[in-house]
Amino acid sequence: MAIYVYIVGKVQLSNPPLLTPYVQITTDHFDVNNKYLQCELMLINEKLNVEITFFTTCLTIRETDSVRVLIKELDPEITSKLLSQATFVAIIRSLVITNELNLSDVRQSLVYFNNNTLIYNYNDNYHILKYSNSIGQIDLQTAIKLLNYLMTNSSYELSKNTEFLNIIQTLFIGQTSPSTTQGNVWIGRTIYGYKLLEKIGEGGNSTVYKVEYKNSLYAMKIYKISPPSPTQSITVQAIRMYKDVYDESSNLIALSNKSKNLVKIFAIYVDLSRIRMIYAGDLTVYLDYPPAIIMEYMEGGDIWQIVKDHKDQLIYSTHWEKVVAKIGLEIANALEVIHNNGYVHLDVKPSNFLLSKKVNVNTAEELLNLLNSDQLVVKLGDLGSAKRIGESILQLTPEYAPPEQFDVTSKADPSMDVFSLGASLYAIYKGIKGFNPTLISTLNLQTSVDIRKEYERYYQELLNKATSPFEKYLLKMTSPNPKDRPTIDNVKNELTKFLI
């Protein structure tokens, strides 16, 4: 039995001096380790000109929740075009050995679809279409249509096929209506009584939608479903997924109501029998009854949007330090409740620092006044990542995670949240996206030992450059040694002092 993989996505380039182009995809059903694959490659530019190379080499680099597919051995002329062109779509086709992919019990169904992956069984051969988040999501009907073209036509024929090029133009290059480019199969539908209005966020494990119920707005987090192991039955996989969503759900709902600085969770929808049906290949069940969480809708979005839009006016202001300290204090209030109730958040980052309402500010002083008067409240979102203290860690955000969190044997500890809070506040304070050094945040280092050494070197550099007491305290929170980091209580006390 053969497995054909078709990878579609916008070409990205690594930071210099590594100019190898790559496409980044999710790991679901492509759970391969770092290795070389023989590939056929087609590149399409924004003018729909097609460049084709045959039998090139691709290198798959395994990351936490994604796979980076590097395109090797490119013709220098094509590499030059990639460097000079802002938009390039790559279609990579490869024949992969069966035991290198995670198909699991999906073999019992003809079609599997989870927003980033489509699997189709034809004449006992499997065809897997994978596309990266950078191109947006597509609906099942469009995904099947695209896969059909890739299965039945040669690259040369595809380059002459008007309908195919229209699909590429609409889905991956053109900026058309949200329902087309974002591929939201749920947009406009009513799920559990909530009407889905638009997609407002996406991560490796879920997608978040703005929804309406009885004239009120909420956020609905819909979980992606991907069988985790080829050695486990449908029932085992379904139980695991069910537990991931449901376990501790009542505690998390109660927890979210214990602090004004936590985004509230209102309801959890998950049914074991339906999840089992989804794993068995019944896509209609997934479309009608996906596992989901209903949360408070945060109208203002995340704090990074304000920093990005008004960076020069904010970070050079004499009030900026107090703004960042106030933001940190509100998130620390939320973390104190989480830690006191026996949990660790494990995904503290600026994109989870959510604002209670939209604001139009141009100066740091205006923002500080809104925060101090409680006209604007900062809340910590995504409690779905929380684990009990001492539990195993299943995910992380490389840009803000402490070095020990990269170790697969590490257990959830409150000091991890302190690190991530310090890293997030430092990034906001400096007006930069991400905290950890490039080698860590892009996961170019292979072992946890390498990550620790690289972080220690980087940390010492930051410490040597730090001048203000505030900056030095934020770095204390990000100490390489968890025992040297302050507790969340100490963080609250110290941040309060910077507000005086």
Q: Dihedrals φ, ψ of 364, to 5°?
A: -65, -35
Which of these ranges, 129-133, 228-232, 267-271, 480-484, has the smallest mean pLDDT?
A: 228-232
Amino acid at 314: L
| CA count, 13 A, side-chain hemisphere, 230 | 12
How many angstroms separate the CA atoms of 365 and 317, rounded?
Answer: 8
What confidence category does residue 204 fall into, taking pLDDT thresholds of 50, 70 and 90? low
Q: What is the DSSP letter of 399?
A: T
What is the total residue count of the chain? 500
Neighbouring-strand partners of residue 50: 44
CA dist 156 → 161, 164, 301, 347, 415 (Å): 9, 12, 45, 45, 56
Query: How wide is the angle at C-alpha 310 spanned by C-alphas 308 and 316, nearest 5°?
Result: 105
> Cβ(168)–Cβ(89) under 8 Å?
yes
- pLDDT, residue 490, reads 97
Query: How wide is the angle at C-alpha 394 spanned by C-alphas 199 and 105, nearest 5°?
Result: 80
Q: What are 436-443's contacts with CB under 8 Å, separation 24+?
A: 436/398, 436/399, 436/400, 436/401, 438/15, 440/398, 440/403, 440/406, 441/398, 441/399, 442/14, 442/15, 442/398, 443/61, 443/63, 443/64, 443/398
H/E element, 206: strand 206-213
What CATH number does domain 303-498 carry, 3.30.70.1400, 1.10.510.10, 1.10.8.10, 3.60.21.10?
A: 1.10.510.10
Ranges of beta strands (E only) in 214-326 are 216-223, 265-269, 292-296
318-330: burial string, b at 16+ Cβ within 10 Å, e else = ebbbbbbbbbbbb
How many angstroms separate the CA atoms of 420 and 424, rounded?
Answer: 6
Convert the pLDDT of each residue in 87-104 to its tens digit.
788 889 888 755 566 666
What confidence category does residue 2 fall into, taking pLDDT thresholds of 50, 70 and 90? confident
> Cβ(225)–Cβ(282) under 8 Å?
no
> Cβ(269)–Cβ(192) under 8 Å?
yes
Residue 493: pLDDT over 80: yes
- pLDDT, residue 289, reads 87
Q: Which two tokens stand for residue 165?
A: 């090029």
Comparing C-alpha atoms, which of 188, 232, 182 is closest to residue 212? 188
Pairing between β-strand 88-96 and β-strand 35-45 as defined by DSSP bridges: antiparallel
* Terminal-to-terminal C-alpha distance of the chain: 69
484, burial (CB in 10 Å: exposed 0-12, middle 13-18, buried 19+): exposed
Convert the pLDDT of each residue in 421-442 to its tens digit.
999 999 999 999 899 998 887 7
- pLDDT, residue 355, reads 95
Residues 6+ positions from 350 with CB-CB distance below 8 Å: 302, 303, 304, 307, 424, 427, 428
Residue 179: pLDDT over 50: no
How many angstroms separate the CA atoms of 353 and 34, rounded?
Answer: 34
What confidence category does residue 108 fall into, taking pLDDT thresholds of 50, 70 and 90? low
Residue whose structure tokens are 């830690």: 339
> Cβ(64)–Cβ(395) under 8 Å?
yes
Comparing C-alpha atoms, which of 443, 334, 423 is closest to residue 379? 334
What is the Cα Rg of the chain in Å?
A: 23
> Cβ(331)–Cβ(260) under 8 Å?
no
> Is the backbone peptide bond immediately before 17 cis, with ω within 30 degrees of 0?
yes
CA dist 25 → 12, 36, 66 (Å): 12, 16, 5
Three state DSSP letters for 139-184: CHHHHHHHHHHHHHCCHHHHHCCHHHHHHHHHHHHCCCCHHHHCCC
> Cβ(132)–Cβ(24) under 8 Å?
yes
Residue 110: pLDDT over 80: no
Q: Helix 469-477 to helix 488-498 angle, to the nearest 10 degrees?
A: 170
More confident residue, 50 or 425: 425
User: How many CB atoms are located within 10 Å of the residue 352 CB?
Assistant: 24
- pLDDT, residue 228, reads 42
> Cβ(479)–Cβ(459) under 8 Å?
yes
Convert the pLDDT of each residue in 324-379 to its tens digit.
999 999 999 999 999 999 999 999 999 999 999 998 888 999 999 999 999 999 99
- pTM for this predicted structure: 0.63
Instruction: Note the CATH number of domain 190-296.
Output: 3.30.200.20
More confident residue, 494 or 105: 494
Residues 6+ positions from 105 with CB-CB distance below 8 Å: 227, 232, 233, 234, 237, 279, 280
* Percent above pLDDT 70 for the chain: 86
Residue 61: pLDDT over 70: yes
Residue 167: pLDDT over 80: no
Which of these ranges, 158-162, 195-199, 309-313, 405-409, has the smallest mean pLDDT?
A: 158-162
Convert the pLDDT of each residue in 384-412 to its tens digit.
788 999 998 877 889 999 999 998 889 99
The domains of the chain are located at 3-181, 190-296, 303-498
